[in-house]
Amino acid sequence: MGVAYQMDDASPAHVVISHEAFLTLKRLHNEFEEVIETIEILNTPRLMKQIERSKKDVKAGRVCELSSPDDLDSIWE
């Protein structure tokens, strides 16, 4: 990962990284956010109960196939 920097007491630090390093950091940032979101879900009992209930609904065949957002209107009527 190409990183170059220069610091002295008189000026703020400047960091120069390659485009590849930038893309890697961006990808890692996104992955880190996903991990945090997953941990938050796993630590929310209400959401975990809803997920378990949904799994049971799928297993029991209580599902509806949707081909477009408009299909929701017929389900919610």
Q: How far apart are the first and last CA of the chain?
A: 55
Residues 6, 14: Cα–Cα separation, whole Å: 6
Q: Which of 14, 17, 24 is nearest to 3 (CA)?
A: 17
10 pLDDT band (50/70/90 cuts)? low
Which tokens is 47 given? 């959401």
For the chain, the domain total comes to 1
DSSP state of 5: E
72 pLDDT band (50/70/90 cuts)? confident
Mean pLDDT score across all residues of the chain: 87
30 pLDDT band (50/70/90 cuts)? very high
Taking 70 as the threshold, does the pLDDT of residue 2 lie above it? no
Q: What is the domain extent for residue 61? A: 3-75
Q: What pTM, to 2 d.p., does this model score?
A: 0.57
User: Average pLDDT of 37-55?
Assistant: 96
Residue 66 has φ and ψ, to the nearest 5°, of: -115, 135
